[in-house]
Structure 1
Amino acid sequence: MSEYILLIAVIILVCLMLRKAFGKLGMPMLLAFILLGMVFGSDGLFKIYFDNYAVVEQVCSFALIFIMFYGGFGTSWHAAKPVAVKAVLLSSMGVVLTALFTGAFCHFVLKINFWESMLIGSVISSTDAASVFSILRSKRINLKNHTAPLLEVESGSNDPCSYMLTVVVLSAMTGKASGGQFAYLIFAQIIFGILVGVGTALAAWYVLSKMKKPKDGVDTIFVFGIALVSYAAASLIGGNGYLSTYIAGIILGNRPLDNKKALVHFFDGVTGLMQMLIFFLLGLLSFPSKLPQIAGTALAIALFLTFVARPLSVFAILTPFRCPLSQQLLVSWAGLRGAASIVFAIMATVHPAYMKHDVFHIVFFIVLFSISLQGSLIPWISKKLKMIDDDSNIMKTFSDYSEEVPVEFVQISITPCHGWAGRAIKDIALMPELLLVLILRGKERIAPKGDTVLLPGDTLILSALSVRSEITCSLTEVTISKDSQWLGKALAELELEDEKLVMLIKRKNKVLLPHGKTKIREGDVLVLSQI
């Protein structure tokens, strides 16, 4: 027993070291976990023989629950709302089109059996949330035209559709379902998945709102359990568990929870561990000696998928929305395949349906190709297509800014028309419990005294007590576009909810502290607080 525990600990520590090394090299860290699994596996250096597909399918399906849930939990609805329709179409019709195009290529060009071709197309039709989230967030890639939230929402929500197609094709291969049964299967997967996800999230939100100052991580454990309930409850009644848990994550993640920072840190750690677990197990399960046998077929499918099937699907959906060509090209390229595709391939392998080809290793090869080539080049292609944007829409809490000491600092610039310009500090009435601690005057640092006169150009640093841990305030960013209903209005003219306030405005490279007469311009990023 101790030997196994030590082995697991060593693998986790090596994964963490590889994560840091691959990050410096600019390569997707998930590739490191797969390669490490291959090193420990049957054909690797440590020769650990492992071929239990059924166990891996169960473990990886469990791990995907938390990856899907946190994918929704970390998605800002304010950022996703402008691209919601596009993302939903990409995650549904885009998946179907990709599966059909790829399946047709396998059947008519590679001469693979029809249903087996459709199975391969279905299994690899979705983009992988773990791969996309990992690269976008680890590289801090901020993209124009709401492309980052488009990719995140699409990759987080299209696994359920791929899973549904895989189930349908496997049922057809065994001949156990009629047309009416197929229709009901699709209906149940979508409708029950949505209903359970929404219902579970709203019930959880009601319970969390009634908790008074949750301690000892009770709320964290509760949300952990809710992620499992949303998946299991939907699956038990024939719904799509992955769709359910993703929707539950979106709803809870966009509610003003009292302890959201702790939840984010917890699920960051859990999701990171689950990603390591999935990709290591998939590498361990593979037999690299079998890859040359399927390399030709798998490479042909990977190239067709990357350069034909995915772009055709993306352009068919995004062109009617008049999306820029550069955005469509980037979305096409960023359609990474990952753990979900391999897990679905394992599901097909353990299914009683007969398959002539080694679907698992074919999909495994395609995922390696996708993560290593496409994933590594996403930052470079984003720059070449001029899609990099320095602004980002990220939901934060006050406690994200300072945790080390119970004091917060704010900065004020004194302009020539500022009310404090030319006045001594002793003549200025500061709010109670607010202290002026430093004056920056050019390169000079001045300790303030009562008779110190403030001059135009001075920068003042003031301190105040930190917000107590039980008081939280969610911050969201809203970018003002050409068609925004707020464009050209003064802040005093905005009709905001009672619990919301515009705290600051980011205008190009400047940060403005707003007042009632401040006019909103195109491109402004409004930071709103919500109690």
Structure 2
Amino acid sequence: MSRRLPRPPILPGYSSELVFFGIGLLLVLTVLAGSLSSRFGLPALIGFMLLGMLAGSEGLGGISFENVGLAQGIGVLSLVFILFSGGLDTIWREVRGGAVPALLLATAGVIVSAAVVTVAAMWLLGFTPLQGFLLGSVVASTDAAAVFAIMRSRNMPLRDELKGVIEVESGSNDPMAIFLVGAALLLIAVPETSPLALVPAFGVQMAVGALVGYAIGVGFPALLRRARLRVGGLALVVSIAAALLSYGLAGLLQGNGFLAAYMAGIVAGAREFPSRRTIAMFQDGLAWLAQVLMFLTLGLLVFPSELVEVLGPGLAITAVLMFVARPLSVFLCLAPFRRYGWRSKLFVSWAGLRGAVPIVLATFPIVAGVPGAQSIFNIVFFVVLLSSVIQGPTLGWLARRLGLDTPQPQAPSGH
């Protein structure tokens, strides 16, 4: 009779086998939930987050998860791979025409959105100026994961110049939002700090992040060409290293790691190197896994009963963001570019989906111990849910109504 060697449990009170089985089952159910939500025209992230909430301590799963720091770490790591993969899949020649307006939206547009939400939070919710600024900064950026998934779906045959603006903006506006959130937290912790003193730091973060991303994006394909790896799987390991190095090195040099990861993906994607298609497919799968883990974790972190308490504030901020802050920022930033008419501006405004990035950013005040941070987190989660449910399914319809979609090629009829 064979005897099993004792194994230390991964979690106290649970065997390793049970933990692995539970994680595998959650991943499968999450993918099924995402596919089911997509069939109803909803972004897959809705299914991911709802399953996380269902599996949480107030749901059927009863999983108690309150480690905000761990959730933040999972979110940051997931965003690195999502941005790197998004950059790899970006066809630069198709989006470069919209790069300048996209970068204007990613910087000035984020500031305008944050400012409008700040005023709204003070007026409608009774927030202090710094609390309002913190909330506005958290929800100001669009989400790369949500935008990439919808823009690249078969149901979104959008013109290249518009698709480029929306995709590049979503991939490059996180650094500005992160900077604003950091500035808000610093001003709350150290009120005597001068906001003007933070401007040079932002310039350094952007410049260093872009340079590191460009260097990794050039070096990653060059390494694969020169190494001539005999084991094909090692090329996939190198691609993972490139994503992690871009984020980590930029951070060590006081640069923005998210910008570096996205830039590295774009620069590498514009070059030829061995196993290019295989690496792109692998990174795409890794990005989807990152989305599943991130949204599932964020869903576990939420207590549905607390969302009821922020129903009014959540609806108010969502309305301001959708119908005032986002349109104002888009119309102002795209005003210098005559090729974008009011229809294009209206569509870009509606395409400002919120997703994981605001939720991940909303964990920063909790970790920092800011008073009222949990309420801000719940409001942000509510805003993301409404944005995904309302804006995501209607993007294709709006593109057709505004005449911004491209005609689908018809198959030749047989004779």
Using structure 2 for the length normalisation, give the TM-score. 0.91
Q: Does 1:358 align with 2:375?
A: yes
**Residue correspondence of structure 1 range 199-218 to structure 2 within 5 A:** 199-212=215-228, 214-218=230-234
Distance (whole Å) between structure 1 residues aligned to residue 230 and residue 104 of structure 2: 39
Say if 2:221 and 2:272, in contact at 8 Å, map to a contact too: no
5+ residue gaps, structure 1, are: 393-412, 414-441, 444-531
Q: Which residue number in structure 2 is paired with residue 382 of structure 1?
A: 399
**Residue correspondence of structure 1 range 461-480 to structure 2 within 5 A:** none
Deviation at 1:391, TM superposition (A): 6.6
Residue 180 to residue 104, structure 1, CA distance change in 2 (3 Å): closer
Distance (whole Å) between structure 1 residues aligned to residue 56 and residue 131 of structure 2: 28
Deviation at 1:159, TM superposition (A): 1.0
Q: Does 1:336 align with 2:359?
A: no
Which of 140, 156, 162 lines up with 1:147 in the alignment?
Answer: 162
Deviation at 1:183, TM superposition (A): 2.9
Q: Which residue number in structure 2 is paired with residue 138 of structure 1?
A: 153
Q: Does 1:373 align with 2:390?
A: yes
Deviations 1:62-90 (A, max 9, x none): 11110111111111110111111111101
Say if 1:144 and 1:387, in contact at 8 Å, map to a contact too: yes
Deviation at 1:213, TM superposition (A): 6.0
Deviation at 1:49, TM superposition (A): 1.5
Distance (whole Å) between structure 1 residues aligned to residue 188 and residue 162 of structure 2: 38
Residue 318 to residue 181, structure 1, CA distance change in 2 (3 Å): closer
Distance (whole Å) between structure 2 residues aligned to residue 101 and residue 214 of structure 1: 55
Q: Does 1:15 align with 2:54?
A: no
Q: Which residue number in structure 2 is paired with residue 528 of structure 1?
A: none
Residue 356 to residue 300, structure 1, CA distance change in 2 (3 Å): same
Q: Which residue number in structure 1 is paired with residue 364 of structure 2?
A: 347
Aligned-partner SS, 1:48: coil
Say if 1:68 and 1:246, in contact at 8 Å, map to a contact too: yes
Q: Which residue number in structure 2 is paired with residue 68 of structure 1?
A: 83
Distance (whole Å) between structure 1 residues aligned to residue 198 and residue 320 of structure 2: 29
Using structure 1 for the length normalisation, give the TM-score. 0.72
Deviations 1:181-209 (A, max 9, x none): 52342122112111211222222232123
183-192 or 100-109: bigger deviation: 183-192
Q: Does 1:56 align with 2:56?
A: no
Which of 318, 321, 327 lines up with 2:344 in the alignment?
Answer: 327
Deviation at 1:315, TM superposition (A): 0.4
153-162 or 354-363: bigger deviation: 354-363
Deviations 1:107-126 (A, max 9, x none): 13332111010000000100
**Residue correspondence of structure 1 range 83-482 to structure 2 within 5 A:** 83-144=98-159, 146-175=161-190, 177-179=193-195, 181-212=197-228, 214-322=230-338, 323-355=340-372, 358-390=375-407
Residue 139 to residue 38, structure 1, CA distance change in 2 (3 Å): farther
Distance (whole Å) between structure 2 residues aligned to residue 215 and residue 317 of structure 1: 48
Residue 210 to residue 307, structure 1, CA distance change in 2 (3 Å): same
Distance (whole Å) between structure 2 residues aligned to residue 210 and residue 391 of structure 1: 41
Aligned residue pairs total: 396
175-184 or 378-387: bigger deviation: 175-184
Residue 15 to residue 352, structure 1, CA distance change in 2 (3 Å): closer
Deviation at 1:93, TM superposition (A): 0.8
Q: Which amino acid aligns with 1:156?
A: G
Aligned-partner SS, 1:238: coil
Distance (whole Å) between structure 2 residues aligned to residue 388 and residue 96 of structure 1: 29
Richer in helix (by share): 2
Residue 356 to residue 256, structure 1, CA distance change in 2 (3 Å): closer
Deviation at 1:96, TM superposition (A): 0.8
Larger-Rg structure? 1
Richer in strand (by share): 1
* Percent of pairs with identical residues: 36
Aligned-partner SS, 2:66: coil
Distance (whole Å) between structure 2 residues aligned to residue 80 and residue 160 of structure 1: 20
Q: Which residue number in structure 2 is paired with residue 417 of structure 1?
A: none
Say if 2:212 and 2:249, in contact at 8 Å, map to a contact too: yes
Distance (whole Å) between structure 2 residues aligned to residue 216 and residue 82 of structure 1: 35
Residue 356 to residue 229, structure 1, CA distance change in 2 (3 Å): closer
Structure number with greater CO (CA < 8 Å, separation at least 6) is 2
Q: Which amino acid aligns with 1:52?
A: N
